[in-house]
Structure 1
Amino acid sequence: MTDRPVPRPTPAGPNARARAMDEALDWLVRLQCADAHDAQAFEAWLSAAPENAEAYVEAEALWNGTPLHQAAAQLHQGQRRSLRGRLRSHWKPLATAAVLLIGLFTLGNLPMRLQADHLTVVGERQRLQLDDGAKVLLNTNSAFASDLREGRQVARLLQGEAYFQVPEGAQGPLEVQAGPLRAQVRDTDFAVRYLDGEAQVRVQRGDVDLQAASDQRIRLSAGDSISVGPQGFGQRQRADMQKDLAWIDGRLVFENCPLSQVLAEVRRYYPGWIINRNAGLEDVAVTGNYRLDQPLETLRALAHITSAQLHEYPAVVILN
């Protein structure tokens, strides 16, 4: 490709944002078959102006998103234009679609936020104590509510992850709800993760009686783990508590875990964007023990052990 974007000083005025987004689209095309010179030029471009990194992250999210695929499918079959031409000509409607999607996402979370008594931001944990004496530890980016119903304590995990410690001698069983999951517990320590419509239960101590939306029922004992989705229960499994519940002690523990899964977990704690531009790294097995309140240090360690290059920008980290 001969028409290549080059780093240049940030222009003053309202055109800076539009210029950055236009160049970000050029870089998306160029980096599909980049060489060492391209990588150096790209890093220089990202550092040239503060809006460049933001524009690139937004452009890549749009590139990989549904609106782009829908727009491409609507193009006439007889048209023979370059990919860059497609992106340029469809940028405004695609950007509009992206804004609409963001608006729908925000509004879609509004009912959940209105229901929540407690919310944690990305990277935050919060300790709570319920009226019946049960203790709750909320993990990152979680929404939680609780109330008394007919004399019994009901806790609702609306999103995220929580660890419950229910003491012996409580007035009654604690009922926990998380999407398709209902749990009745006494004298028990257990964790619930509820993300993307599926709940995961891990029991550290005691027994937990579970009910799925399909009215299936099962009892888990210490060391058991199970997933619960709209279709019911998955297979009962034995959990590795030292690894799966390490977040309770402020750690992230991985054992022979593909880097793609490791990055997915680290993203839950990093208040920005983590981009992996090297598909060859996704299946690299990772073993390590990291602090969850230092996600950037974790990324630096992961880059070191996988021999990857790490490029750090405000709110953006890119692995090559």
Structure 2
Amino acid sequence: MTDSPAPRPTPAGPSARARARAMDEALDWLVRLQCADAEDTLAFEAWLSAAPENAEAYVEAEALWHGAPLRQVAAQMHQQQRRSWRGRLRSHWKPLATAALLLVGLCTFGNLPLRLQADHLTVVGERQRLQLDNGTKVLLNTDSAFASEYREGRQIARLLQGEAYFQVAEGARLPLEVQAGPLRAQVRDTDFAVRYLGGEAQVRVQRGDVDLQGTRDQRIRLRAGDSISIGPHGFGQRQRPDMRKDLAWVDGRLVFENCPLSQVLAELRRYYPGWIINRNTQLENMTVTGNYRLDQPLETLRALAHITSARLHEYPALVILN
């Protein structure tokens, strides 16, 4: 009786190689996305959609990266070798630790001017209430940077990034001057909002009057119900928007009426601390009407998926609509 030959190890098939490749690329993306610009974001979305294993690999790598301190990740990687491609992370442990330290320094330094100027910062999805020395009440919206000071008899508020809602009482001890990029506003006894994103400021007046100064010493007065944008080239056209929708965030709501889903998702991205990716271009022009809680963006996405008959895939810090 002859001994049976020992079984030969089965070589890794294409799917295993594909998962290993996807994990290597996912690790590269984890590093690159820490300080991503618009071009990086588009490239990442293209990579994520290129192959089904890419999304899975990124989610697993991201969960390991963010789900615990790096020392714990190293221990987990040792115990999780039942999936061969995940075990490959062991060889990346030292590069990951080094990259993490470098990224903390690089990203903090890259944002240093903003951090040094700001008295108050809000993270994605956070709002913060303030009161200035002259009694003005300020509500900072998501991902905003704000500073204020008293100078030469003036109360000055600077919106460095994001969005803020100002309530200036009639009996304020000092007039308020608001600065946001190219915008200068002088106000007394008024309620109004300023959004400053991408180098352009937008003002919406809910109550009272607001005197604005733009580039080239342009001046205009807005009254209750008015809205206008101010960019590097001056003022846009005066508008009369629906303040109930545009300022719903002040009351913790997001309101949409016959709004394309692409615009709805763009607004939700400001409040969701992760990635929202739409892989179905046919959904982009579908109109949406609804009133949602600002502090529950994931619940809003689930509702949108239901009314548009889209499939929603939820991962840590990543939501994909199909």
What is the TM-score of this pair, normalised by structure 2?
Answer: 0.73
Please state whether the residue corresponding to 2:216 is helix, strand or coil.
coil
Q: Which whole-Å CA distance do the structure 1 matches of 2:143 and 2:48 have between them?
A: 35
Task: Give the number of the structure whose alpha-carbon radius of gyration is greater.
Answer: 2
Structure 1 equivalent of residue 152 of structure 2: 150
| Equivalent of residue 18 in structure 1, options 20, 24, 34 | 24
Q: CA deviation at 1:18?
A: 2.2
Q: 1:30 to 1:317 in 2, by over 3 A?
A: closer
Task: Report if the CA contact (8 A) 2:192-2:203 is conserved.
Answer: yes
The yes-or-no answer on 1:116 pairing with 2:118 is yes
| Equivalent of residue 226 in structure 2, options 220, 224, 227 | 224
Q: Which whole-Å CA distance do the structure 2 matches of 1:30 and 1:138 have between them?
A: 33
Map Cα deviations across residues 146-202 of structure 1 (whole Å, 9 max, x no partner). Answer: 000101100000000000000002223100000000000000000000000000000
Please state whether the residue corresponding to 1:237 is helix, strand or coil.
coil
Matches within 5 A, 1:67-106: none
Q: Which whole-Å CA distance do the structure 1 matches of 2:48 and 2:149 have between them?
A: 55
Task: Report if the CA contact (8 A) 2:211-2:221 is conserved.
Answer: yes
Structure 2 equivalent of residue 210 of structure 1: 212
Q: Which whole-Å CA distance do the structure 2 matches of 1:234 and 1:187 have between them?
A: 25
Q: Which whole-Å CA distance do the structure 2 matches of 1:272 and 1:249 have between them?
A: 23
| Equivalent of residue 309 in structure 2, options 298, 307, 310 | 307
Task: Report if the CA contact (8 A) 1:214-1:230 is conserved.
Answer: no
The alignment covers a number of residue pairs equal to 262
Q: Which whole-Å CA distance do the structure 2 matches of 1:140 and 1:155 have between them?
A: 17
Q: Which whole-Å CA distance do the structure 1 matches of 2:189 and 2:205 have between them?
A: 12
Q: CA deviation at 1:226?
A: 0.3
Please state whether the residue corresponding to 2:24 is helix, strand or coil.
helix
Structure 1 equivalent of residue 290 of structure 2: 288
Query: What RMSD, in angstroms, separates the aligned Cα atoms of the two structures?
Result: 3.4
Map Cα deviations across residues 41-96 of structure 1 (whole Å, 9 max, x no partner). Answer: 777x459x7217899xxxxxxxxxxxxxxxxxxxxxxxxxxxxxxxxxxxxxxxxx
Structure 2 equivalent of residue 79 of structure 1: none
Please state whether the residue corresponding to 1:261 is helix, strand or coil.
helix
> Aligned residues: percent identity?
75
Structure 2 equivalent of residue 50 of structure 1: 60
| Equivalent of residue 240 in structure 2, options 232, 238, 241 | 238
Q: Which whole-Å CA distance do the structure 2 matches of 1:22 and 1:127 have between them?
A: 38
Amino acid across the alignment from 2:315: Y
